Amino acid sequence: MSEPRKVLIVDDEPNILTALEFLFKRSGYEVRLARDGGEALREADAWRPDVMLLDIMMPVKNGYEVCQTVRERPELAGVRIVMLSAKGSEAEINKGLSLGADRYVTKPFSTQELLATIDRLFEPGDAGKP
């Protein structure tokens, strides 16, 4: 059996962190948590996750900035980014995808659909494309 996929969940709300941590662990993922943009970048550098679930409105660095920084670093090229946000206008979605996110999921979302979305990111031929 291959190694479990690594997911870094970045959000400043503890309740969503708890719920998503439980969800992903139960679904066979290895999970780490970050509570702001700075911590997210440090974890990404140190741990090289396969997927980042990235909230937008966060302290220190917002989700857009984190996404942009990750995409600027060649060593993090393999990281898939899914933005999870309460901001959901067409313009904001457009901005997230333009800055390099693979998917943009607006809150609230279905947990099962979120899992399916992430699974699809690893299907051959789909990686890195929205």
Partner 1 sequence: MRTPKGVVLWVGAACAGVLLVLGVGAALQYWAAAPENRPHLVEVVAEGLPVVFFGTAMLMVFAGMAASWLFRRHPHAARQLAEQSRSLLAAESGFRVSTAGAPPLVELAAAINQLADAYHRIEHDLEARSVETRARVEEERDRFVALMSELSQGVVVCNADGRILLYNPRAAALLAPSESGRHGDYTPLGLGRSVLALLDRQQVVHALDMLQHQIGHVDRPQARFVASAANGALLRVQVAPFLGAERKLAGMVFALDDVGQLMGRESQRLRLLQSLATGVRAPVANLRAATENLVSFPDMPADRREQFVEIAAAEARVLTERLNAALLANADALKGSLTLEDMRAVDLLAVAQRRIAEALQLPVAIEDADAELWLRVDSYAIAQAMTFLAARLAGDYDLHGFRLRAGGGGNFGEIDLVWTGAIVGSDALSLWEGEPMRIGKEETPLTLRDVLERHGAEAWLQVDKIRQISRFRLLLPRGQAVAPVAHRTSTAADSRPEYYDFDLFEHIGGVGELADRKLAELAYTVFDTETTGLEPSAGDEIISIGAVRIVNGRVLKQEVFEQLVNPRRPISRESTAVHGIDGKQVAGEPPIGQVLPRFHRFCEDTVLVAHNAAFDMRFLELKEASTGVRFGQPVLDTLLLSAVVHPSVDNHHLDMIAERVGVRVIGRHTALGDALLTADVFLRLVPLLAERGIVTLGQALEASRATYHSRLQY
Binding site for partner 1 (CB under 8 A): 13, 15-16, 18-20, 22-23, 26, 84-88, 106-112
Work out how close the CB of 92 gets to partner 1 at its nearest, in angstroms, rounded to a whole number. Answer: 10
Residue 128 zone, left/alpha/beta (φ > 0; ψ -120 to 50; rest): left
Work out how close the CB of 105 gets to partner 1 at its nearest, in angstroms, rounded to a whole number. Answer: 9
Nearer to partner 1, 6 or 107 (CB): 107
Work out how close the CB of 14 gets to partner 1 at its nearest, in angstroms, rounded to a whole number. Answer: 9
Nearer to partner 1, 70 or 84 (CB): 84
Which neighbouring-strand residues pair with 85? 106
Please tell me the number of Cα atoms within 13 Å of 50 on its side-chain side. Answer: 14
Would you tell me how many other CB atoms lie within 10 Å of the CB of residue 28? 10
Nearer to partner 1, 84 or 121 (CB): 84
